[in-house]
Amino acid sequence: MIQIIPAIDIINGQCVRLTQGDYDQKRVYDKDPVEMAQKYQDEGFQRLHVVDLDGAKSGAPKHLALVEQMAAKTNLTIDYGGGIKTAAQVQSVLDAGATMANIGSLAVKQPEVFKSWLQQFGADKILLASDVKGEKIAINAWQDESEVSIYDFITDFIPSGLNQFFCTDVSKDGLLQGVALDLYQNLRERFPEMTIIASGGVASMQDIEALDKAGIDGVIVGKAIYENRISLEELKAYA
């Protein structure tokens, strides 16, 4: 059964959601991230996806203190990303209580460094964040499409131990218009042994049911929860 992974995106210590990664299309939800994490645990969820948007913008993690509080006050498996550029920062994320560090742009720009981290920290501690447009890796804060296919991108890291990744179709993210089901079906077929997590566009339980049927391991759900498009009660069946 697919696992629901609620998302908490943080700017200035608050829960927010962006539309298609655009900081100018930001909506602040007046909720404390630590309280939200506790609520998700209380509702029966076991994982949490935390995105430090301030860190992503500045190039260094900014909200590790919040991660420490989340880890101290819940038993959630936390994956955390945003601005991680060095091995020391990966270690600081793990030391703060996150189970996994999400690595995105660095894996695109410095793949050899990313491969070394897989080996240094272990593949269970590193979650690759891959953004795509039209099955090609998206770069430069999602504005551009590279010439690298998502399939070649993932394949390149397998010899170094990669065994898990999440993939965001940036044309869908934050729009509440449904998921890129064909993309995830193709990824599942291409990488049958990999842990694959879908991200972006979830708008209804039908999206989640379709991903589950496609054999996807997990799905990150953010805006649909905040906008009450999907209730936590409905999601609990997959928690």
Strands 136-139 and 144-149 come out as antiparallel
Strands 136-139 and 195-199 come out as unpaired
Percent of the chain exceeding pLDDT 90 equals 69
pLDDT for 143 beyond 60: no
3-class secondary-structure state, position 22: strand
Range with the poorest average pLDDT among 85-89, 166-170, 173-177:
173-177
Task: Supply the pLDDT for residue 78.
Answer: 98
Tell me the C-alpha distance between 119 and 167, whole Å. Answer: 21
Task: Supply the pLDDT for residue 116.
Answer: 98
Give the pLDDT band of residue 26 (cuts 50, 70, 90). low
pLDDT for 27 beyond 80: no
pLDDT for 193 beyond 50: yes
Residue, of 17 and 203, whose pLDDT is higher:
203
Task: Supply the pLDDT for residue 25.
Answer: 60
pTM of the model: 0.92
Tell me the C-alpha distance between 222 and 182, whole Å. Answer: 21
Catalytically annotated residue among 52, 79, 131, 207: 131
pLDDT for 16 beyond 50: yes
Region of 27 (left: φ > 0; alpha: ψ -120 to 50; beta: rest) is: beta
Task: Supply the pLDDT for residue 142.
Answer: 46
The token duo for 136 is: 């090609």
Domain ranges of the chain: 3-238
Tell me the C-alpha distance between 118 and 121, whole Å. Answer: 6
Mean local confidence (pLDDT), 140-148: 60
Task: Supply the pLDDT for residue 201.
Answer: 86
Tell me the C-alpha distance between 46 and 6, whole Å. Answer: 9
Task: Supply the pLDDT for residue 3.
Answer: 96
Half-sphere exposure of 4 (CA within 13 A, CB side): 26
Task: Supply the pLDDT for residue 126.
Answer: 98
> Is 24 in the active site?
no
pLDDT for 125 beyond 70: yes
Give the pLDDT band of residue 79 (cuts 50, 70, 90). very high
Catalytically annotated residue among 9, 169, 207, 217: 9
End-to-end CA distance of the chain: 9
Give the pLDDT band of residue 145 (cuts 50, 70, 90). low
Residue type, 60: A
Class of domain 3-238: alpha beta
Mean local confidence (pLDDT), 197-203: 92
> Is 131 in the active site?
yes
Mean local confidence (pLDDT), 215-220: 97
3-class secondary-structure state, position 10: strand
Mean local confidence (pLDDT), 146-150: 85
The token duo for 229 is: 């498009």
The token duo for 104 is: 């995105």
